Amino acid sequence: MTATPLIPSFSVVSGAQVHSVVDGRESRLREIVEYAYRLHGGGETVNPDSYFLRFPDRPSSRIIALPASVRGDVDVHGMKWISSFPENVASDIPRASAVLILNDTATGYPFACMESSIISAGRTAASAALAAVRLSASRGVRPRRVGFCGTGLIARYVYQHLLASGLRFEEIGLHDLAGEHAAAFRQRLRRTDDTPVVLHDRAEDLVRSSDLVVFATVAGAPHLHDPALFAHHPLVLHVSLRDLSPEIILESCNVVDDVDHCLKADTSPHLAEQRTGNRDFVAGTLYDALTGRLSAPADRTVVFSPFGLGVLDLAVARYVYDELAAAGRLHTVPGFFHETRRYG
C-alpha cells in the first residue's frame, strides 16, 4: 500500500545560516557542483530557460527566474529569483540579491525559502574553479598569473575557490572601471595573502599580463575586441559572459556549461553564433571535459563561458538545507500551510 504523502513543514533560511554552512567548505561545494554537472550531462535534470524581468526605465537592471529540477541524491525541484541592480554599488551595497525556493518532489509543496546570493556566488565560484582545474590539467599548463577584470563579490568568491582548489599564483592582477573597488579588493587580499598584486588601469593590460583571466563584470556588451590581446593563449573564465567580441570568441577554443543556455541573451558566444550562423566554434561542455571527451589545447586561448544553471543552485541549496536540518537549526514557520485538507 502506497503511503500517503505528507505536507512538509516550511522553513526560512537566512543568509547568516547559509554562510555558516558554506564558509570554508569550498572543496565540498566544488564536489557538489561537479556532481550536479554530471547529473545534468547524464540527463538527470530539468533546466528550462531562464526568465528575465526587465524595466524600460532601468535598462541595466533585471530580475531573473531560474527554475530547475535535479534527480539523484539531490532530489529536489525549485527556483532561484535573483536581481541584478548595478547601481547598488554606488551605495556600497551588493549588486545582486536573491532568494531560492525548494519544492518537495513527492507533493510539489515548497518546503524552504532561502537567502540565495551566497549560494549563487558559491556555485558560480565553484563552477569557475572546477573549470580552471580541469581545463588547466587538460592543457598541461599551470596558470601562474591570475587577473580579475571586475573586483566585486563574485571575484572575491572565485579567488577563494581557486586557492581552495590548489592553484597558487605568483602575481594577482586587478582591473575595475571603478579604481577604488580594485584598490579595496587589493586591501582585502593583503589581509591574508602576500602574493604581489598589480592594479591595471586598462583591461587590455590585465589580459596581456595574465595566463588565467577571470571576467566578473556587469558588462552588457563586449568591451574587448582585438584577438591579438590573447596571443599568449590564456585560460579565460568568462563568468560575466558579455566581455569578449565575436572575433575573440571565434579565435578561441570555447567551452560552455550548456550550449543551448549559453548561446542566448546576447552573450558573447550568442553574438558569435549570430555572426557565423552556426555553433561550430563551441568545442564542448564542461561535462565533456569532466568525462574525458574534451581535451583543451595549450596552443589556443581557451574560454569557459558558464551561463549558470539553476540545477547548480538547487544542488548547493539542498546541501545547505540538509546540513541545517541535521543540526536542528531550521527555522520553521508554524501554520504556513493553512488549508491542509482537501475538503476542510
Structural contact between residues 70 and 314, judged by C-beta atoms closer than 8 angstroms: yes
Confirm whether 132 is domain-assigned.
no
Tell me the Cα Rg of the chain. 21
Confirm whether 128 is domain-assigned.
no
Structural contact between residues 110 and 10, judged by C-beta atoms closer than 8 angstroms: yes
CATH code at 290?
A: 3.40.50.720
- 194 and 275 housed in the same domain: yes
pLDDT class of 1 with cuts at 50, 70, 90: very low
Which range among 58-67, 89-98, 292-301, 320-329 shows the weakest confidence by mean pLDDT?
89-98
- 107 and 147 housed in the same domain: no
How distant, in Å, are the alpha carbons of 152, 171, 217, 220 from that of 178?
A: 10, 21, 11, 16
Confirm whether 70 is domain-assigned.
yes
- 58 and 114 housed in the same domain: yes
Distance CA 202, CA 189 (A): 20
Q: Which domain holds residue 58?
A: 11-119+310-332
Confirm whether 340 is domain-assigned.
no
Tell me if the pTM is above 0.75.
yes
pLDDT class of 341 with cuts at 50, 70, 90: confident
265: left (phi over 0), alpha (psi -120 to 50) or beta: left
341 vs 109: which has the higher pLDDT: 109
CATH code at 110?
A: 3.30.1780.10
Average pLDDT for the chain: 95
Confirm whether 237 is domain-assigned.
yes
Confirm whether 74 is domain-assigned.
yes
Pairing of strands 331-332, 11-13: antiparallel
pLDDT class of 3 with cuts at 50, 70, 90: low
Tell me the pLDDT tens digit for each residue of 43-65.
Answer: 999 999 999 999 999 998 999 99
Tell me the pLDDT tens digit for each residue of 223-272.
Answer: 999 999 999 999 999 999 999 999 999 999 999 999 999 999 999 999 99
- 326 and 296 housed in the same domain: no
- 233 and 325 housed in the same domain: no
Tell me the pLDDT tens digit for each residue of 220-230.
Answer: 899 999 999 99
